[in-house]
Amino acid sequence: MAERGLKVRQALAAAAARLATVSETPRLDAELLMAHALGMSRDDLLLRRLDDVEPPAFAALLDRRLAHEPVAYITGIRAFWTIDIAVGPGALVPRADSETLIEAAVDHFADQSPVTILDLGTGPGTLLLAALDQWRQTIGLGVDRSTEALAMARANADRLGLGARAKLLEGDWAAGIESQFDLILANPPYIGLDEVLPPEVREHEPADALFAGADGLDAYRAIVPDLPRLIAPGGVAILEIGHMQADAVAALVEAAGLAPALRRDLAGRPRAIVVT
């Protein structure tokens, strides 16, 4: 229990020390939870409120994180690219590593813009809405089999003012989709069934968004064969991968008659296969 009258800066230091046992980013987690408890941005917290008294709501938020609940589920929001995505149980938490896909798309189109975007397994709309915010004249389709995740995606699209350009469809990958798209994005499940995951992931995030068969490749086996008919001339598909899956996914792409290129994230790990 926090000491009465503890200042925010002191409470953050104490919380970060406790969170070090459950998180790789304990100070950041503490700051995000404190900002949420105070009803403000993290920037405002750090610039203006460190000498305030710790708010009563902080202790309960900290306890939830210590029980391995993801920060994004506690605060209900996660920053991604240029937007904030509202997220909760039933949808995959956006990861900064997935911004690699948007960066690759920006590099591919350079000073031009894709006209149409397809996001396969859109979840709460993370990749689709980030791309629509990047290219303001573009329209996009997001597909997911989870009605719960699609409801979050629709709410995010409306809140961000992107609802008129974002169509959201319940479906099984690209089944029944006949159009071609300039940009195809996908962050499919790619975890093998026996792989070890942190408790905050395995116990809280939806299994359907994480696991893809014994070797983690089932989603790629479903998606890649459809890419030749889905990619418009001059277009590109960008698939997020696990860091050990580059060769296997590239082989699937080559078997489909397409050209794969590896894209690494900021840490230098294999993160995406760019398909042309």
Q: Is the pLDDT of residue 35 over 80?
A: yes
Same domain (yes/no): 61, 95 = no
- Give the pLDDT confidence score for residue 169 in this predicted structure: 97
Q: Is the pLDDT of residue 3 over 80?
A: no
- Which two three-digit tokens encode residue 16? 């970060």
- pLDDT bin (cut points 50, 70, 90) of residue 4 is low
Same domain (yes/no): 123, 234 = yes
| Closest of 191, 216, 231 to residue 105, by C-alpha | 231
Residue 116 phi, psi dihedral angles, 5° rounding: -130, 145
Q: Is the pLDDT of residue 2 over 70?
A: no
For residues 68-75, average pLDDT: 98
Rounded Cα distance between 32 and 28, Å, is 6
For the stretch 144-160, pLDDT in tens is 999 999 999 999 999 99
Domain count, the chain: 2
CATH for 58: 1.10.8
Paired strand residues for 170:
144
33, 67, 101 - which closes a domain:
67
- Give the pLDDT confidence score for residue 186 in this predicted structure: 98
- Give the pLDDT confidence score for residue 5 in this predicted structure: 73
Same domain (yes/no): 169, 258 = yes
Domain that residue 179 falls in: 88-275
Same domain (yes/no): 52, 97 = no
Asked whether residue 164 is domain-assigned, the answer is yes
Q: Is the pLDDT of residue 1 over 50?
A: no
Q: Is the pLDDT of residue 167 over 60?
A: yes
- Give the pLDDT confidence score for residue 194 in this predicted structure: 87
Cα separations in angstroms, 25 against 71, 75, 110, 248: 11, 16, 34, 31
Asked whether residue 72 is domain-assigned, the answer is no
Same domain (yes/no): 141, 46 = no
- Which two three-digit tokens encode residue 175? 């089944």
Q: Are 139 and 161 in contact (CB under 8 A)?
A: no
Same domain (yes/no): 27, 104 = no
Same domain (yes/no): 171, 212 = yes
Same domain (yes/no): 93, 46 = no
Same domain (yes/no): 230, 98 = yes
Helix axes 26-38, 8-19, angle to 10 degrees: 140
Determine how many CB atoms are found less than 10 A away from the CB of residue 40: 13
Asked whether residue 73 is domain-assigned, the answer is no
Q: Residue holding tokens 């699209």?
A: 157
Same domain (yes/no): 61, 108 = no
Same domain (yes/no): 166, 247 = yes
Q: Are 9 and 50 in contact (CB under 8 A)?
A: yes
Residues 6+ apart with CB under 8 A from 176: none
Asked whether residue 113 is domain-assigned, the answer is yes
Report residue 233 CA to chain centroid gap: 27
CATH for 93: 3.40.50.150
Q: Residue holding tokens 């395995």?
A: 202
Asked whether residue 77 is domain-assigned, the answer is no
Q: Are 140 and 132 in contact (CB under 8 A)?
A: yes
Same domain (yes/no): 32, 164 = no
For the stretch 99-152, pLDDT in tens is 999 999 999 999 999 999 999 999 999 999 999 999 999 999 999 999 999 999
User: β-strands 139-144, 166-170: how paired?
Assistant: parallel
Asked whether residue 38 is domain-assigned, the answer is yes
Share of the chain above pLDDT 90, in %: 97
